[in-house]
């Protein structure tokens, strides 16, 4: 089981590297391509939120209320950001566009901070699971 947890944890790094590589080339793309890429990223984030929602729902009583709350807040947040971006994309005013860019950059930094915290939490959860498994094995011997 711990090998599976380790492999799942490695997906975080793989996904982060792929996203980083994609972001490094984004500046060379047309505005239209960047908008399409952003929408695709939002779609992936919404799909991930849905998958998390389904996992928590499937777990039923086993799911801790903390994770249920995080999931619900994340799902609401993803929907709100998507709606806000849809509204903002219709506006053309240069000053407003600059403010939107500043807010979007701030949001991106917050999302990165959240992801880094989530990685730390995931690492702690994996280590807790490995320790619990080792304890179970030791007690059954």
- Residue 34 token pair: 């960047």
Contact 74, 49 (CB under 8 A): yes
Number of H helices, E strands in the chain: 4, 0
Rounded percentage of the chain residues whose pLDDT exceeds 90: 9
pTM summary value: 0.59
Distance of CA 116 to the CA centre of its chain: 10
Task: List C-alpha distances in Å: 130 to 10, 11, 81, 110, 138.
Answer: 15, 18, 36, 30, 12
Neighbours of 71 (CB within 10 A): 19
pLDDT band at 82 (very low <50, low <70, confident <90, very high): confident
- What integer best gives the mean pLDDT of the chain? 82
Alpha-carbon span 109 to 97, nearest angstrom: 18
| pLDDT tens figures, 3-35 | 788 888 888 899 889 888 888 888 888 888 888
**Is 43:65 a contact under the CB 8 Å cutoff?**
no
Q: What sign does the CA torsion over 48, 20, 42, 116 have?
A: positive
């Amino acid at each position: 089981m711990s090998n599976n947890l380790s492999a799942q944890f490695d997906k975080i790094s793989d996904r982060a590297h792929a996203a980083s590589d994609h972001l490094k080339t984004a500046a060379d793309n047309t505005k239209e391509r960047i908008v399409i890429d952003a929408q695709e990223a939002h779609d992936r984030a919404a799909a991930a939120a849905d998958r998390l929602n389904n996992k928590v729902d499937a777990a039923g009583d086993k799911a801790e209320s903390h994770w249920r709350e995080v999931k619900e807040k994340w799902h609401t947040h993803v929907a709100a950001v998507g709606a806000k971006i849809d509204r903002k994309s219709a506006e053309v005013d240069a000053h407003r566009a600059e403010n939107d860019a500043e807010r979007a950059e701030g949001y991106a930094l917050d999302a990165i901070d959240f992801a880094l915290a989530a990685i730390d939490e995931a690492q702690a959860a994996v280590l807790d699971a490995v320790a619990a498994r080792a304890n179970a094995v030791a007690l059954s011997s």
